[in-house]
Amino acid sequence: MLKGFFNVPTPHNEPVKNYAPGSPERKELQAMLQTLRSQQIDVPMYIGSEEVRTGKTRTMSPPHDHQHILGQFHEGDASHVEQAINAALGAKYAWENMEWEQRAAIFLKAADLLAGPYRAKLNAATMLGQSKNAYQAEIDSACEFIDFLRFNVKYMTEIYAQQPPVSGNGVWNRLEQRPLEGFVFALTPFNFTAIAGNLPTSAAMMGNTIVWKPAYTQIYSANVLMEIFKEAGVPDGVINLVYVDGPTAGDVIFNHPDFAGIHFTGSTGVFQHVWKTIGTNIYKYKSYPRIVGETGGKDFVIAHKSSHAKAVAVALSRGAFEFQGQKCSAASRAYIPSNIWEDVKTYLLEDLASMKMGGTEDFTNFINAVIDEKSFDKIAKYIDNAKAAPEVEIIAGGTYDKSKGYFIAPTVIVTKDPMYVTMQEEIFGPVLTIYVYHAEHFEEALELVDQTSPYALTGAVFAQDRYALELATKKLKNAAGNFYINDKPTGAVVGQQPFGGARASGTNDKAGSMINLLRWVSPRTIKETFVPPVDYRYPFLGED
Ligand SMILES: NC(=O)c1ccc[n+]([C@@H]2O[C@H](COP(=O)([O-])OP(=O)(O)OC[C@H]3O[C@@H](n4cnc5c(N)ncnc54)[C@H](O)[C@@H]3O)[C@@H](O)[C@H]2O)c1
Ligand SMILES: N[C@@H](CCC=O)C(=O)O
């Protein structure tokens, strides 16, 4: 058998295709959208080698066209979670003993399958199932997930290569990175197909086996991810995909003695509940479970009086309203100095007036639908409350309509109260709240930014004045895990800006970095002594 210290291909960020009119990628994507819309698929759970169909089905529809049926999935119950755990534990021995380069090859192959033959299919599934426009789907389901796979393979090898720097005379010190003892639970959100793919694969890459439960509203694209994993050669039982409601799944998972870790992305409330449950059950587990969770945000943009109004306005229109504000990183509160406010407002309103809203199949639409009725109703309530609040004014949007799809017009609220509820709470929709501060009170405004919300995920500062940038960078040290200077607070790129926040925004284990992969291994130190001593006595015990 061939043996060697193998190098892996150097990762590069997957180039983003632009889908311009007439481009081959646009034609291919449009054809795929038509194909997927013209059929109704039947989606099973994937447990071990089985495709499990329970007969208890739920339909899947585009959020922008909720009467159209894309297919149905089979919902499971607690018994399927048990089966998935057993399948994961059953596959564990072979998987963790497979040479690392074979695991690497599987995930590099998945990246190439996605970059090539599956790109249009996964993008189209994300566009239809999650209502992302072509560009938003491309940067998520194609490029970000390809990057996660390729960069994580590189980080995996760097982790394995890290060895103790010193071995004393007659000794060889080694460090072995063992997978966790048990199974890992990947609990994934609706809003990024790349995150849904990354949470199970990053832990699997390090030799773990996985029970994966996606959000119901992401199952349509999760099914394509599973197709890619299977074609890439992920063995049966390594990633088990179940569709069971969250609390039912949690009840089985968090009571199991072999539960070894959770890789979560989603809301802060769910994560805190999960953490508390694990704490309560801690005596039941063989090991202390790894708890990794990236959660909510209330992401800010603060402009200094020296900043360019147009740049600030564009950061707001893209940062707040791309994918309908349903990015954990979306700008949702802004602090604008009085001297540039009128210009920022004019540019922002011009941008918003030019944004078309509708289905993702029409490539001229910038704004699409929010994910589901529950989310629509929640966002509409914030808007209604703002209409009734004397301290705020809605200067754009404020309308919504769910007759065909869950459409909410991009909404801008201006508040006189910097602690107004929409400056503090995560809404997760196309709603931006702006507080106009006295242009000479920048430092006080920075304090407001830091203290207004419990979250600390992303944030951006705009200024031409370098002292102002330095002050903001220092004062907002703990206000964001991803901090942007003269840029919008969204769009982190794997390999360039590892992503994650602290405070109520998560454990900040930085998705798409070595820091994250380290959470899925448990190191064993091995010391080998070549010629062991044969006498217990120290030399100083001898007589002079
Ligand atoms: N920080 C980040 O990197 C990041 C990235 C993406 C999304 N998010 C956050 O995710 C949220 C949006 O995603 P979402 O609506 O899918 O989140 P969510 O918390 O509603 O759901 C996440 C997952 O948890 C499951 N779940 C829900 N309740 C549960 C329970 N009681 N027990 C066990 N599982 C349960 C869901 O079914 C889903 O699979 C936002 O808060 C957003 O900020 C954060
Ligand atoms: N990583 C993405 C956000 C993921 C959360 O939804 C960004 O940087 O915009």
Instruction: Find the angle CA(482)-CA(488)-CA(491) to the nearest 5 degrees.
Output: 65
Q: What residue owns the CA closest to ligand 1's atom 25?
A: 246
Measuring from each residue's beta carbon to the nearest atom of ligand 2, which residues come in under 6 Å?
191-192, 327-329, 490-492, 499
Cα 477 to averaged position of ligand 2 atoms, centre (Å):
20
Residue from 326, 328, 426, 482 whose mutation best tests the ligand 2 pocket (most atoms within 8 A of CB): 328
Q: Is residue 497 part of a domain?
A: no
At 421-464, the pLDDT tens digits run 999 999 999 999 999 999 999 999 999 999 999 999 999 999 99
At 262-304, the pLDDT tens digits run 999 999 999 999 999 999 999 999 999 999 999 999 999 999 9
Instruction: Find the angle CA(322)-CA(27)-CA(356) to the nearest 5 degrees.
Output: 30
Which residues sit opposite 337 in a β-bridge?
437
Q: Is residue 492 part of a domain?
A: no
Q: What residue owns the CA closest to ligand 1's atom 36?
A: 215
Same domain, 286 and 241: yes
Q: What is the token pair recorded at 315?
A: 């950061």
pLDDT at 478: 98
| Number of domains within the chain | 2
Give φ, ψ of 390 to 5 degrees: -65, -25
pLDDT at 117: 98
pLDDT at 427: 98
Residue 107 and residue 148: Cα distance in Å, rounded? 10
Residues 6+ apart with CB under 8 A from 192: 140, 144, 265, 327
Count, residues in the chain: 544
List 294, 322, 361, 426, catalytic entry: 294
Same domain, 284 and 326: no
Q: Is residue 141 part of a domain?
A: yes
Cα 246 to averaged position of ligand 1 atoms, centre (Å):
10
Burial class (CB in 10 A: 0-12, 13-18, 19+), 154: middle
Q: What is the token pair recorded at 317?
A: 């229109």
Q: Is residue 500 part of a domain?
A: no
Q: Is residue 280 part of a domain?
A: yes
Measuring from each residue's beta carbon to the nearest atom of ligand 1, which residues come in under 6 Å?
187-192, 195, 213-215, 246-247, 249-250, 265-267, 270, 273, 294-297, 328, 426, 428, 457, 499-501, 505-506
Same domain, 310 and 207: no
pLDDT at 539: 81
Q: Is residue 541 part of a domain?
A: no
pLDDT at 1: 60
Cα 469 to averaged position of ligand 2 atoms, centre (Å):
23
Is residue 370 a contact partner of residue 402, using CB atoms and an 8 Å limit?
no
CA dihedral 263, 118, 51, 127 (to 10 degrees): 70
Cα 295 to averaged position of ligand 1 atoms, centre (Å):
7
Nearest ligand, CA 484: 2
Residues 6+ apart with CB under 8 A from 372: 63, 217, 406
List 14, 143, 322, 328, catalytic entry: 328
Residue 255 and residue 332: Cα distance in Å, rounded? 37
What ligand 2 atom has the least distance to the C-alpha of 458? Answer: 8
What ligand 1 atom has the least distance to the C-alpha of 501? Answer: 1
Same domain, 279 and 157: yes
Residue in the structure block whose two tokens are 């918003």: 352
Cα 96 to averaged position of ligand 2 atoms, centre (Å):
31
Nearest one of 190, 165, 184, 188 to 175, comparing CA atoms: 165
Nearest one of 371, 388, 391 to 379, comparing CA atoms: 371
Q: Is 294 a catalytic residue?
A: yes
Nearest ligand, CA 212: 1
Residue from 263, 274, 281, 295 whose mutation best tests the ligand 1 pocket (most atoms within 8 A of CB): 295
Q: The domain containing residue 233 runs over which residues? A: 27-57+70-295+506-526
Q: Is residue 431 part of a domain?
A: yes
Cα 332 to averaged position of ligand 2 atoms, centre (Å):
13
Cα 329 to averaged position of ligand 1 atoms, centre (Å):
14
pLDDT at 543: 83
Handedness of CA 525, 529, 534, 538 (dihedral sign): negative
Same domain, 87 and 228: yes
Same domain, 291 and 344: no
Domain harbouring 362, CATH code: 3.40.309.10
Residue 221 and residue 227: Cα distance in Å, rounded? 10
Residue 251 and residue 256: Cα distance in Å, rounded? 9
Q: Is residue 409 part of a domain?
A: yes
Same domain, 288 and 356: no
For the chain, helix, strand, coil in percent to 5 are: 40, 20, 40
pTM for the whole structure: 0.98
Q: What residue owns the CA closest to ligand 2's atom 1?
A: 492
Domain harbouring 263, CATH code: 3.40.605.10
Same domain, 211 and 284: yes
In which residue ranges of the chain is pLDDT below 70? 1-2
Nearest one of 238, 248, 197 to 47, comparing CA atoms: 238
pLDDT at 3: 85
Same domain, 145 and 167: yes
Rg of the chain over all Cα atoms, to the nearest angstrom: 25
Same domain, 313 and 446: yes
Nearest one of 57, 59, 64 to 33, comparing CA atoms: 64
Same domain, 119 and 255: yes
Nearest one of 232, 238, 236 to 112, comparing CA atoms: 232
Same domain, 345 and 259: no
Nearest one of 188, 205, 206 to 197, comparing CA atoms: 188
Residue in the structure block whose two tokens are 């242009």: 439
Q: State the ipTM, two decimals.
A: 0.98
Residue 47 and residue 56: Cα distance in Å, rounded? 16
